[in-house]
Structure 1
Amino acid sequence: MSLMNPSMEDLPPDVMADILTRLPVKTIIYSTCVCKKWRNLVSSSYFVNLHLSRSPPSLIVSRLSRGDLANSRKAGILKWVEIEDELDRHHLHHDPVMTLDLNLSSTLRKSKVLLMGSVNGLICLSQPKGGNTCICNPITREYMILSRNRDKREDYSTFVCGFGVVCMTGEYKVMRTFEDSNSSSRPRQLQAEVYTLGTGRWRNIGHVPYWFDHSDQPFLNGHIHWRIYDEDSPESLCAFDLDKETFRLFPSPPSESIEESYMHFQSLAVLKGCLCKSDTYDSRYTIWVMTEYGIKKSWRKELVVKLGIIPDLDWLIWEPMFLIEGLKDGSILMVCREERLLVYCPQSKTIEHTEMFEPYFSGLPYRPSFLKLRDFASERVRMF
């Protein structure tokens, strides 16, 4: 059915919404220019929720512009990568029209911006040198800078930042940790604060019981997850409950002791709705999958690549890998050393190098949505 078919004007709003939500995102964006009725429909909560329930998995990739790879004073750009995922084939596609230049923001352009998390089409960005935290929607091209806590010095260090949504209430929250400058203990203690979108302020929630690895912080089932630094801890993972705003140790996969291993690189991710952990040693590369959330016994090995067993994959053992997304045929999207976007196929035990982007970049799983930041009260929303 053509978008310009006049008969569509006579359709009930719910039928119109059903039709529009099945169209490609770029086509929906263009449809808002057709008439005011369609623009209002796409902005409605009914349409936003219906579209989100049908929104296909995709990726969001952050990288510096060409020629600025060595310039830490550039914010970089966001690229939306669509995944055409079928059981018999998959294809990655990036439309340059959907690129979002973060340097257009007078606040963000001052230094490099890091991807911290993505939920329901919203992306959390952190600026380590500038101390700014930003929420943006690449589809609506809206963004907002979360206000700073006036009770703290401008130069305090943010160590970890996580983003998610409370399952029951639908509240979107950002949690970040920082070093307590007033603490006399050595090492200094970490404190945490939470920002609920729409409130316009940070709330201190007290002492953080663990030191986290800041390289990844996947959100799943109302919790943000991290790996922790504590050799004496019975678990190597921690979860932050966004509803109760509390930390707790989280069941981790069985620990492996690899003799004479001089390297151990780890990463966390969510693949096809399951929490996953990868381990890179000198002699093997392993991916663990938690098949039942929160159940320690449900951890199982999804992939094991041992040195010499699959010679074509031996290089996996020497390169840090970040898991991003799982596909219908069991393939896994991975970023290697911020330099290559890879697709691993377990059936053929092969790896495809997509060659889509130049170094250096990072990526997150992403589901495009038309959720408007202007719907959050007490926030100053700007446009790219």
Structure 2
Amino acid sequence: MASSIESLPPGILAYILSRTPVKTIVYSKCVCKKWRSLLSEPYFVDLHLSRSHTCLVIHQEGSLSKCNIFKLGELEDKPDSFNIYHDPVMKIKFGLGFRYSVMHLSGTINGLTCIWHYSGSDETYICNPVTREYTLLPEHKIIRKPLPAVSYGFGFIAARNQYKVVRFYQGGYPLNQDLYKSDCEVYTLGTGMWRSLGQVPVGLGGCQNGVFLNGNLHWLAHDQHHITSDLVCTFDLEREFSELAASAPLVDENMNSAFRSLGVLGGCLCLCDNTSECEFVIWVRQDYGMKECWTKEIVIENDFETQLYKTVHVLTVLTGGSILMVVHNGHMFTYHRESKTLQRLDISWTKDFSICNVMVYVPSFIRLKSFMSERVLIF
């Protein structure tokens, strides 16, 4: 059987292997030099990515061991059933030997993940959990202390095959006139340097991830004259231009705007609003790029423990039409539109460590070594 498989033309062999699970492909590289070479070719990498199934990357933190673990959760997504599985082999562990540090999952694109680490200074990593490669980006041009209010975004320009990290640094204090201004930096993977775009008249709050959609990154924001997050900051990755566009649905000034988050639902920008005491709302911006076009897509009575006074994030829409969401405390649940019911997920393999963040992840075999000017290390 093995000899018959090896005799197949490379194109057919690549087609077959591209449809196998990620772990199987990793093990297949050890079969022979021919397979290892084939599975490293750009053709196979692109073919596999085009067929790769959606997973989750789950960032967990251990309070005693002071380590951060990034696990891949495979989705069993069928019309009549849903579950999340974890292969113990597919994980990455960061050991932090610091007394105080913060690690934050900032974005995922095509199998690459952006991670921000702060321990007296800012560090930005790009890694691929599948190939187990990572690179520490050069030191930022803008360095301030103490712990800054910093927001990241990670996006991709398909026409140029460019991956960009966008960083907004809000370093003002309550009595500082620059409180609602941010310094902006951009890093293009493979260039080896950060570029400063100067100061922009927008405040984003701290540790907010940019949502990537239609070539742009989006954050909830406020301008120099507003404290509440009632605007959307849109950053065009190609033009490297940011603007305050399309006002978000207004929030009561007495409510905490931190209980709102942006996401993607059905290919549209959405906003999860959990500021009300009686209901949780998902707003959807149907006509992308136009102002005042938010509509109430989903309204859920706020009568269960995972909603009240917490931030909720939309992850993905499942095969049967249900919506997979995660609460800030790490609990995941599904909302079934037809029955209008919620179902909390009991994931046993996430209980040893507290969940810090969950993001949609599409596994790939993109090699960081393919980007020039990057010093690549292996986990």
Per the normalisation by structure 2, the TM-score is 0.87
Name the SS for the 1:360 alignment partner: strand
SS of match in other structure, 2:369:
helix
Between the aligned partners of 1:152 and 1:315, the Cα distance in structure 2 is 37
Structure 2 distance, partners of 1:109, 1:197, is 30
In structure 2, the residue matched to 1:217 is 210
Q: How far, CA to CA, are the matches of 2:109 and 2:238 in structure 1? A: 15
- What's 1:81 paired with? 73
Which residue is equivalent to 2:272? 278
Q: Alpha-carbon deviation of 1:320? A: 2.6
User: For residue 55 of structure 1, what is the aligned residue in structure 2?
Assistant: 52
Work out whether 1:239 is the aligned partner of 2:234.
Answer: yes
**CA distance in structure 2 between the aligned counterparts of 1:146 and 1:346, rounded to whole angstroms:** 42
More deviation, 320-329/217-226:
320-329
Most deviating of 15-24 and 230-239:
230-239
Deviation at 1:272, TM superposition (A): 3.9
Q: 1:349 aligns with which of 336, 340, 343?
A: 340
The structural deviation recorded for 1:321 is 1.4
The amino acid that maps onto 1:241 is D
How far has the Cα of 1:162 moved from its partner?
Answer: 1.1
Give yes or no for the alignment of 1:266 onto 2:260: yes
Q: How does 1:1-384 map to 2 (within 5 A)?
A: 5-65=2-62, 67-68=64-65, 74-103=66-95, 111-129=101-119, 130-149=121-140, 152=143, 157=148, 159-179=150-170, 186-187=177-178, 189-213=181-205, 214-230=207-223, 232=226, 236-255=231-250, 262-264=255-257, 265-280=259-274, 281-296=276-291, 299-307=294-302, 313=304, 316-356=307-347, 357-358=350-351, 359-384=354-379
Report the Cα offset of residue 151 of structure 1: 7.2
| Counterpart Cα distance in 2 of 1:165 and 1:176 | 15
Root mean square deviation, CA, Å: 2.8
CA offsets 1:76-132 (integer angstroms, 9 cap, x no match): 0001011121223222111111111122x88x9973310100000000000133410
Change (3 A) 1:323 1:10: same
Q: What SS class does the counterpart of residue 6 from structure 2 fall into?
A: helix
Greater Cα offset, 13-22 or 373-382: 13-22
Partners of 2:33 and 2:321 in 1: how far apart? 43
AA aligned to 2:238 is D
Which has more strand, going by share of residues? 2
DSSP-derived class of the 1:178 partner: strand
- Secondary structure of residue in 2 paired with 1:17: helix
Residues 139-179 of structure 1: per-residue CA shift (max 9 Å, x gap): 00000000103675686836111111113211111111225
Task: Assess if the C-alpha contact under 8 Å between 2:110 and 2:362 holds in 1.
Answer: yes
Match of residue 71 from structure 1: none
Q: 1:94 to 1:180 in 2, by over 3 A?
A: closer
How far apart are 1:360 and its partner, in Å? 3.4
- Give the aligned residue type for 1:193: E
- Does the C-alpha gap of structure 1 residues 125 and 12 become closer, same or farther in structure 2, counting only changes over 3 Å? same
The C-alpha deviation readout for 1:331-354, integer Å capped at 9, x for no partner, is: 122222323122222223332222
Cα gap change, 1:29 to 1:66, in 2 (>3 Å): farther
Hey, what's the Cα distance between the residues in 1 that align with 2:215 and 2:74?
26
Aligned residues: 366
Structure 1: gaps spanning 5 or more residues: 69-73
Which one has a larger percent helix, Structure 1 or Structure 2?
1
Distance 1:339 1:41, change over 3 A: same
Q: CA deviation at 1:315?
A: 5.6
SS at match of 1:82: strand
Is contact 2:230–2:250 with CA below 8 Å preserved after alignment? no
CA distance in 2, matches of 1:180, 1:254: 27
The answer to whether the 8 Å contact 2:221/2:232 transfers is yes
Q: Distance in 1 between matches of 2:44 and 2:290?
A: 36
Q: Which letter maps to 1:26?
A: K
Q: Quick check: 1:235–1:249 contact (8 Å CA) kept in 2?
A: no
The change in CA–CA distance for 1:210 and 1:153 in structure 2 (over 3 A counts) is: closer
Sequence identity percentage: 39
TM-score by length of 1: 0.86
Q: 1:234 to 1:349 in 2, by over 3 A?
A: closer
Q: Post-superposition shift, 1:16? A: 1.2
- Match for 1:269: what amino acid? G
Paired residue secondary structure (1:243): coil
